[in-house]
């Protein structure tokens, strides 16, 4: 092994040398696998109960609309209360939700309205859980290791995206769909245990904000007045609305463009997952994070999506999705780190709640919109629009790069040690 290889491996997994983050990483690996396992099982369950694609769309909306509507309020809660405590509650709630749904299925008591209620409750949990998990990483590793830790987290999510559905398929075929929800719920206990085992003295908590009127409005005003944060969030809104609707566009590409059906959709999705894992490892190994790198990743993300739109054969489309996955995770990791490092400690929860809104809350808008484009104009056109949107976002990011360069305090992350 060369010295360069050893150095790269050390940089790539640097955050795992931190005891608290290492525990958190292991817990997240379990819970994210369970989450993806439940996600696949939920889709199959809805189809078993109704055979309706519309019902599937309703479930997706119920899980994401709460983030869009209540996300800003969730950010206020994150700034007011200890993030570790919030995660105890959110993970326990997720555990109980999975167990309850699994038991209803196993006892043959499940009805569609129960799935709807479960999806809505899951969305309400995400309102506080998503920004809490993201901001808690900074308390675990500090600024110096934030790029590395966020990238490793993103890599874990994409590995879980591969492992979770595979486990769900095995369980559904072997023992039934109910056990997917029971086991998925139990995986959240791993996070609770790791939270309990952490050394409180090694955490770097942000100062909590005292309850007062107008804190939600103050968060909005802060985001609006901070150009770097505002521009990165605008980039994410554009990309989240038009580019990240792969769950809608890729099935259309596989079915109607390449005539490969469900197996083609699985291949395209898996290829994107592989690329995302590689992209996560690459980003984790980078020493620095800055707005210029964010602009580059957004532009390359958009360009790679356009390449898939023009792919003449299915094999080239699959290869293109590996590239898409690589730059997709590169963009989201760098965007996450950029706005966290730019945020005042007392505003971090509110800022990251807006990031969750931009990332997840745009799904109820972008999903139907890009689905309609794909249905009437074709999946290639939908992909071209998504790719062009990412290029537009990169143009907006150029302003962020200039503003970041001009800031005297800077946002550029120091080299990891």
Of 4-13, 140-149, 162-171, which gets the smallest average pLDDT?
4-13
Residue 217 has pLDDT above 60, yes or no: yes
Please choose, from the candidates 74, 80, 356, the residue with its C-alpha nearest in 3D space to the C-alpha of residue 205: 80
The per-residue pLDDT for 323 is 95
Domain ranges of the chain: 19-197, 222-417
State which CATH number among 3.40.30.10, 1.10.287.3510, 1.20.1250.20, 3.30.390.30 fits the domain covering 222-417: 1.20.1250.20
Distance of CA 302 to the CA centre of its chain: 18
CATH for the stretch 19-197: 1.20.1250.20
d(CA 379, CA 89): 41
Indicate the average pLDDT of the chain: 86
**Model confidence pLDDT, tens digit, residues 62-104:** 888 898 888 888 889 999 999 999 999 999 999 999 999 999 9
pLDDT digits (tens, 9 = 90+) for 340-356: 888 888 888 899 899 98
What is the predicted pLDDT for the residue at 315?
A: 94
- Whether the pLDDT of residue 296 is over 50: the answer is yes
Stated pTM of the model: 0.80
Q: How confident is the model at residue 299 (pLDDT cuts 50, 70, 90)?
A: very high
pLDDT of residue 99: 95
Mean pLDDT of 333-339: 87
Q: What is the mean pLDDT of residues 298-302?
A: 95
Whether 222-417 and 19-197 are alike in CATH topology: the answer is yes
Give 100-106's long-range contacts (Cβ < 8 A, gap of 24+): 100/185, 101/181, 101/185, 102/178, 102/179, 102/180, 102/181, 102/182, 102/183, 102/184, 102/185, 103/178, 103/182, 104/178, 105/45, 105/176, 105/177, 105/178, 105/181, 106/176, 106/178, 106/179, 106/182
pLDDT at 230 over 60: yes
* Total residue length of the chain: 417
Q: HSE-up of 10 (CA within 13 Å, CB side)?
A: 10
CA distance 319 to 307: 10
Rounded mean pLDDT, 102-109: 93
Q: Average pLDDT in the 359-379 region?
A: 84
- Mean pLDDT: which of 93-102, 147-156, 207-216 is highest? 93-102
Q: Which of 354, 390, 412, 380 is nearest to 219 (CA)?
A: 354
């Amino acid at each position: 092994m060369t010295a360069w290889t050893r150095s790269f491996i050390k940089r790539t997994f640097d955050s795992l040398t931190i005891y608290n983050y290492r525990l958190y990483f292991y817990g997240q690996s379990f819970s994210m696998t369970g989450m993806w396992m439940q996600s696949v099982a939920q889709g199959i369950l809805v189809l078993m109960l109704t055979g309706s694609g519309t019902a599937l769309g309703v479930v997706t909306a119920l899980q994401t609309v709460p983030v869009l509507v209540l996300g800003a309020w969730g950010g206020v809660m994150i700034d007011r209360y200890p993030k570790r405590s919030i995660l105890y509650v959110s993970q326990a709630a997720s555990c109980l939700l999975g167990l309850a749904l699994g038991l209803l299925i196993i006892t043959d008591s499940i009805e569609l309205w129960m799935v709807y209620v479960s999806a809505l409750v899951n969305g309400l949990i995400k309102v506080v859980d998503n920004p809490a998990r993201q901001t808690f990483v900074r308390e675990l590793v500090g600024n110096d290791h934030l790029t590395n830790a966020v990238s490793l987290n993103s890599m874990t999510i994409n590995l879980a995206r591969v492992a979770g559905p595979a486990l769900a398929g095995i369980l559904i075929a072997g023992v039934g769909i109910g056990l997917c929800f029971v086991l998925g719920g139990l995986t959240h206990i791993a996070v609770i245990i790791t939270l309990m085992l952490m050394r409180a003295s090694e955490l770097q908590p942000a100062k909590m904000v005292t309850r007062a009127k107008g804190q939600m409005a103050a968060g909005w005003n802060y985001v609006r007045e901070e150009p770097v944060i505002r521009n990165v969030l605008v980039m994410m809104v554009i990309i989240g609305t038009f580019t990240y609707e792969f769950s809608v566009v890729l099935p259309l590409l596989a079915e109607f463009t390449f005539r490969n059906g469900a197996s083609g959709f699985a291949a395209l999705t898996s290829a994107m997952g592989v690329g995302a894992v590689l992209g996560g490892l690459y980003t984790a190994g980078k020493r620095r994070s800055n707005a210029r790198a964010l602009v580059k990743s957004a532009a390359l993300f958009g360009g790679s999506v356009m390449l898939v739109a023009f792919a003449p054969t299915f094999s080239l489309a699959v290869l293109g999705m590996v590239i898409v996955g690589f730059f997709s995770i590169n963009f989201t990791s760098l965007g996450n780190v950029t706005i966290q490092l730019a945020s005042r400690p007392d505003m971090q929860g509110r800022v990251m709640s807006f990031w969750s809104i931009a990332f997840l809350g745009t799904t109820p808008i972008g999903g139907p919109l890009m689905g309609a484009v794909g249905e009437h104009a074709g999946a290639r056109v939908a992909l071209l629009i998504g790719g062009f949107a990412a290029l537009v976002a990169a143009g907006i990011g150029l302003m962020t790069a200039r503003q970041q360069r001009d800031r005297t305090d800077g946002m550029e992350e120091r080299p990891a040690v």
